[in-house]
Amino acid sequence: MRDHRASQASHRVGRTTWHAPVDRPGPLASISETASRSGAKHALVCDRDGVIVENRRGYILRPRHLRLLPGAVGALRLARAFGALIVIVSNQAAVGHGLLSEVGAMRLHTRLLGMLMRRGVDVAASFLCPHAPRDRCPCRKPASGMIEEALSALALKPADCFLVGDALTDLMAGRAADLRSGLVLTGRGHEQLASVSEDHPVFADLEAAARFAVGLWTSRQVDGPV
Ligand SMILES: [Mg+2]
Ligand SMILES: [Zn+2]
């Protein structure tokens, strides 16, 4: 029988293995083996720039540009303490625009994973879209490709996940993948607020968003399966 999976190239960066499809446009992906076997039911699906780390207008291109937002680590710890997985889905158009190589983007993100790990946060899966808008790839948000691949890799249901982003395109991607989503006012959040419809909750930061998501999941457990 034919293998329908596209062939993938693997890149080892430190202790992290990255995969990239070679015969079609797709995201760079790093998925924790332990997380995919954990049987966890919930996930906090986070945009990266402007949500976990400070947004940077000229793109995040160097390690020194990776600055954790206040409260971000606490937020991710809260979700992990509940048993939810952390998933990061990030457009990295700097690659598509030639400002950063694919390997450079993987290295930078791996560095962030190390920063989080040293603070007690293990990330279950990271997906980076290395394309520019003109590439018309299925992964660049507002498309839902990265979210769908992440959920499938971790055997998660959209209804059990909550997406947090600082841009309308994040929320659109979440909606396209049937996830509940909320906007944070960090990063580009303030300037995006006017374009976000009222049915999305708005949070000061990732910490408030994580508290909301955990509250939602806890109340569902009390109410029984929904
Ligand atoms: Mg962002
Ligand atoms: Zn893409």
Which ligand minimizes its atom distance to the CA of 48? 1
Q: For residue 21, tell me if it sits in a domain.
A: no
Q: What is the DSSP letter of 7?
A: P
Q: Rounded to the nearest whole angstrom, what is the distance from the C-alpha of residue 45 to the centroid of ligand 2? A: 17
> Residues lining ligand 2 (ion), CB within 5 A?
129, 131, 137, 139-140
Q: For residue 13, tell me if it sits in a domain.
A: no
The count of structural domains within the chain is 1
Q: For residue 29, tell me if it sits in a domain.
A: no
Residue 111 domain boundaries: 39-223
Give the whole-angstrom CA distance, residue 154 versus residue 206: 22
* DSSP H or E stretch at residue 218: helix 206-223
Q: For residue 203, tell me if it sits in a domain.
A: yes
Q: For residue 1, tell me if it sits in a domain.
A: no
Give the whole-angstrom CA distance, residue 120 versus residue 82: 14
Q: Residue 139's closest CA among 14, 2, 19?
A: 19
Does the annotation mark 49 as catalytic? yes
* Residue 6: pLDDT band with limits 50, 70, 90: low
Q: What is the chain's mean pLDDT, rounded?
A: 94
Angstrom distances, CA of residue 76 to CA of 46, 86, 119: 10, 7, 10
CA 156-166-95 angle, 5° bins: 85
Give pLDDT tens digits for 143-167.
Answer: 999 999 999 999 999 999 999 999 9
Does the annotation mark 3 as catalytic? no
**pLDDT score, position 5:** 55
Average pLDDT over residues 48-60: 96
Q: Rounded to the nearest whole angstrom, what is the distance from the C-alpha of residue 199 to the centroid of ligand 2? A: 27
Provide the angle, in degrees to the nearest 10, between the axes of the packed helices 72-82 and 206-223. 20
Q: Rounded to the nearest whole angstrom, what is the distance from the C-alpha of residue 127 to the centroid of ligand 2? A: 10
**CATH number where 132 lies:** 3.40.50.1000
Q: For residue 58, tell me if it sits in a domain.
A: yes
Q: For residue 127, tell me if it sits in a domain.
A: yes
Q: For residue 72, tell me if it sits in a domain.
A: yes
